[in-house]
Structure 1
Amino acid sequence: MKKIEAVIRPAKLEEIKDELNKYNIHGITISQVMGCGMQKGRKEYYRGTEVTLNLLAKVKIEIVIQDSQVEDVIKIISKEAKTGEVGDGKIFVYNVEEVIRIRTGEKGENAV
């Protein structure tokens, strides 16, 4: 099993969720996060003073899936999140040793 974490633009969340649903991938966790990378924030003016905002609002998607689904999920997220501009985000893939469904005690892929 693998865990995929993707940090994306908030505006792209619904498109990614819709596309994942088409592939019967429903178990996802969404978090609102702040971060910066190469985008390095933006400048705004507050009461006439320039302020640099270097932490931008992002969304983090977390999905635990079977190994056979990894490439499909990466393609979906990459396609739907891409604008071609700096700040599109990142995808991270981790190995998952075990999953346990608390309610039933199921383990492994049955618990996903």
Structure 2
Amino acid sequence: MKKIEAYIRPEKLEEIKTVLDKYNLNGMSIIQIMGCGNQKGWKEYVRGTEVDYNFLQKIKIELVVLDEQVEKIIQSIIEVSSTGEYGDGKIFLYNVEDAIRVRTKERGESAIK
């Protein structure tokens, strides 16, 4: 099992949810965050003083998926998220040692299906 963390533009969320729906995923977490990378934020003037806002709104998507689904899901996220501009996001991949469904006490792959 793998955990996928994808940081994306907020305006791409609905499109990504639609694309990921075809994989019959059993769960997904979505978190509104603020962050910066190469895009560096923006500048505004407040009462005549320049203010540098380093953080931009982003969406963090977390998924735990079966190993055989990983590449297809990553490619789908990239296809939908990519605009070719700074700020398109990043994807991180982690190994998941185990998963446990609290209600039924199922472990492993059956806990995420």
CA distance in 1, matches of 2:94, 2:12: 22
SS of the counterpart of 2:103? coil
Structure 2: 5+ residue runs without aligned partners? Answer: none
Partner residue in 2 for 1:83: 83
CA contact (8 A) 1:2 1:94 kept: yes
Aligned-pair CA distance for 1:60: 0.2
Distance 1:26 1:111, change over 3 A: closer
Aligned-pair CA distance for 1:12: 0.5
Moved more, 66-75 or 21-30: 21-30
Moved more, 20-29 or 86-95: 20-29
Measured against aligned partners, the alpha-carbon deviations of 1:27-72 in whole angstroms (never above 9, x if no partner) come to: 1000011111111111112233221100111100000000000001
SS of the counterpart of 1:102? coil
Structure 1: 5+ residue runs without aligned partners? Answer: none
CA distance in 2, matches of 1:32, 1:102: 26
SS of the counterpart of 1:19? helix
SS of the counterpart of 1:105? coil
CA distance in 1, matches of 2:104, 2:26: 19
User: Does residue 55 of structure 2 align to residue 55 of structure 1?
Assistant: yes
Aligned-pair CA distance for 1:24: 1.5
Amino acid at match of 2:99: V
* Superposition TM-score, scaled by structure 2 size: 0.95
CA contact (8 A) 1:20 1:26 kept: no
CA distance in 2, matches of 1:97, 1:111: 12
SS of the counterpart of 1:12? helix
Cα RMSD between the aligned structures? 0.9
The percentage of counterpart residues that share the same residue type is 63
CA distance in 2, matches of 1:14, 1:46: 33
Amino acid at match of 1:52: D
Measured against aligned partners, the alpha-carbon deviations of 1:49-98 in whole angstroms (never above 9, x if no partner) come to: 22110011110000000000000110110011111100000000000000
How does 1:2-17 map onto structure 2 within 5 Å?
Answer: 2-17=2-17
